[in-house]
Amino acid sequence: MKRITAIVAILFINIIFQSFFVSGQEFEGHVNYNPFLGNYHPTPFKGAKKTATSLTLPFFDDFTGYSMYPDSSKWTDFEVFINNTMGASPLSRGVATFDGLNSNGIPYDSFSNTAFRYADSLTSQPIDMSADSAADSVYLSFFYQPQGNGFYPLPPDSLMLFLKNRYGDFVKIWSVEGSGIQPFKQVMIPITDSLYFHSTFQFRFINKAALYWADAVWNVDYIRLDKNRSLSDTAVTDVAFTSNPSFLLNDYTFMPYGQFMVNHAGESALFISDSIRNSTLINQSVDYGLEIRNVQSGAILSAIGTNNILLGGNTIGEVSEPFSIGTFPTYSADASVVFETKYYLSTTSPTGPDVNDTIIKDQVFDNYFAYDDGTAEKSYFLNLSPTLPGKIAIEYHLNKPDSLRGMAIYFGRQIPFSSTKPFAIYVYSSIAGINGAAHDVILDSTYLLDPGYYDSLNHFWIYTFRHPVLMQPGTFYAGTMQPQGGSSDSLYFGLDVNRIGPNHAYYNVLGHWIPSGISGAIMIRPIFGHPVFGTGIQDVAVEKEKWQVLPNPAKDLLKFEFGASEVTIYRLSDIQGHTLMSGPIRPGNTIDIGQLAPGLYFVNITRDGIPEVPQKIIKL
């Protein structure tokens, strides 16, 4: 018993150090959420589905496709996440990521974070090997990597491989325990037992996850099953792209097209880059091309027919071409515009899968500014002072006057849930001590809000301002304020760790602003231009049944009047956003505010998880 307790203590210490220690007040945490899976659940995968006839050898998949789900012609289940952001230096674009998140992108156990269980699985379609035998020297090979760009799986976690015998039983024949990041490592599995040579053979990967944190990651890539192989048949005879092309912008990942066109020379990247891996053991002369296309019109905006790079054996080389468009298309200032960037290999030697010879990425111009790519690999949070609010500010710039309409924020899920961690949105023209500013200059702010995880179009929760904030050209800062007192401590924001370059982030938990030391982009996006709809909060609140508190002004008792609701929580805060009183409330109930100092306060209620419009009250 003492030994088990000691092991648990060691695991807890490991969790603390791998998950939280970054600097004094700002930290990296787990994201515990994948909205891509939950929002785009594919119809063909409503249950395990098998092909009408068994596949035949060879079997191959390197997960280069653009769906976040496994290819249904090769796999029967859909629990892993196919992506190009979680793997570190993969063999080719795309990996299959195993973690503790289910097919809906949320933890297998959302209420307990102390369990161990079998989590994701990846099961091949049936493969007919009835005509084969051990004499055919059949090998199953694959590459795996713990952690990647996420958090590493703890030692009790494991990645396992099962083979299905002729009796329908899946037998574990290989496993590895969790560990820290390492390069992709190849595994060679000989299939020699006669029980596996039948017409409906399958193999299955499963990870056992310690649900301390649901995104302890395993990545699997380049799976090959074929005969006439040997233990030394580890060579990968393929030249392939390993990543998506870079963004067309020099700093932002996304921005409004109207803002871009005012200074397209300054906002455009100088080069468009990508990486190619020569997985063979000999030098390869590789021809490649580049094309940029306007998706709306189909017009080719820029093209480089053929260029060449010489790659040594088993090396990765970067290709980089100047970004130049003679005439940018004209659209309205608020238009959504998409340019498609395509890198392609124009040589076919050595032979290999063709699917990873072409890589496409869309450059989107829409109504928001962003430094992130839309995918969170980790979370970012602040450890607040008990007596001071915590603030985050992200630096942006405008090229022309515009109307700030709201903010889009990506929250990381937490156990327990963060629905009771209120925050406010702040917009500044300057923050004290940064870029020579003497004081914080606040352009606008909101009342306290609640975080949300609704799967909107781009997986962000959208908060709108009731009145647009008219902004002038130049630098501004958009961010959040978490009130003091501990109720909002450690609120998780999405963190894109693939961000290259400065993150433009600042934080303030001790009364002064400090440049962030976290590598990656905090996923907070200001929204500009035409009016937008919020995600179920401010924009619909005015149409709801009105509520009120009486009397106003009040001296001692404050009475709440509103329609019936299943769950109603009230929150009373001062003008700095500090929560002073909160708790459950029913229609007609009163609270005693006699102990409060005279002055102005804000009161709000949250009904069925959605906050109402705050009310101002005066305490006599």
Read off the pLDDT of residues 438-461 as tens digits, 9 standing for 90 and up.
999 999 988 888 888 654 434 788
Q: Is the pLDDT of residue 471 over 80?
A: yes
Q: Is the pLDDT of residue 110 over 50?
A: yes
Q: Is the pLDDT of residue 41 over 50?
A: no
Superfamily of domain 31-234: Galactose-binding domain-like (2.60.120.260)
240-365: CATH topology: Immunoglobulin-like (2.60.40)
The predicted structure's pLDDT at residue 348: 58
Mean of the per-residue pLDDT values of the chain: 84
Q: Is the pLDDT of residue 48 over 70?
A: no
Q: Facing residues of 271 across strands? A: 322
Return phi, psi of residue 35, to 5°: -65, -20
Pairing of strands 493-496, 568-573: unpaired
Q: Is the pLDDT of residue 349 over 60?
A: no
Q: Which two tokens stand for residue 531?
A: 């009016």
Helices (H), 253-296: 257-262, 264-267
Weakest mean pLDDT among 26-30, 152-156, 369-373, 418-422: 418-422
Q: What stretch of H or E contains 171? A: strand 170-177
User: Averaged over 275-289, what is the pLDDT?
Assistant: 90
Among residues 620, 588, 586, 618, which one has the least CA distance to residue 603?
618
Q: Which two tokens stand for residue 486?
A: 């501990």
Decide if 31-234 and 378-538 have a common fold. Answer: yes
Segments making up each domain of the chain, as ranges: 31-234, 240-365, 378-538, 544-619
- Tens of pLDDT, residue by residue over 397-417, are 999 999 999 999 998 876 555
The predicted structure's pLDDT at residue 243: 85
The predicted structure's pLDDT at residue 470: 93
Q: Which two tokens stand for residue 255?
A: 């921005």
Contact criterion met (CB below 8 Å) for 339 and 295: yes
Report the top-level CATH class of 378-538.
Answer: mainly beta
Helices (H), 411-496: none
Q: For residue 442, give the amino acid letter.
A: I
User: Averaged over 469-493, what is the pLDDT?
Assistant: 90
- Tens of pLDDT, residue by residue over 357-402, are 888 899 999 999 999 998 888 889 999 988 899 999 999 999 999 9
The predicted structure's pLDDT at residue 418: 62
Q: Is the pLDDT of residue 527 over 60?
A: yes
CB-based burial label for 208 (10 Å; 0-12, 13-18, 19+):
buried
Q: Is the pLDDT of residue 537 over 50?
A: no
Report the top-level CATH class of 544-619.
Answer: mainly beta
Query: Quick one: what percent of the chain has pLDDT higher than 90?
Result: 50
- What is the number of alpha carbons within 13 Å of residue 196 lying toward its C-beta? 22
Residue bearing the bigger pLDDT, 47 or 327: 327
Among residues 388, 389, 366, 379, which one has the least CA distance to residue 462?
366
The predicted structure's pLDDT at residue 11: 40
Q: Is the pLDDT of residue 539 over 60?
A: no
The predicted structure's pLDDT at residue 456: 41
DSSP letter (8 states) at residue 103? T
Q: Is the pLDDT of residue 6 over 70?
A: no
The predicted structure's pLDDT at residue 547: 82
Contact criterion met (CB below 8 Å) for 612 and 544: yes
Contact criterion met (CB below 8 Å) for 51 and 126: yes
Taking phi first (over 0 means left), then psi (-120 to 50 degrees means alpha), and beta for anything else, what does residue 444 get? beta
d(CA 67, CA 74): 14
Query: Quick one: what percent of the chain has pLDDT higher than 70?
Result: 82
Weakest mean pLDDT among 150-164, 185-199, 245-259, 539-553: 539-553
Q: Is the pLDDT of residue 112 over 90?
A: no
Sequence-distant (6+) residues with CB within 8 A of 8 are none
The predicted structure's pLDDT at residue 457: 39
The predicted structure's pLDDT at residue 247: 95
Q: Is the pLDDT of residue 194 over 50?
A: yes
Sequence-distant (6+) residues with CB within 8 A of 330 are none
Q: For residue 357, give the amino acid letter.
A: D
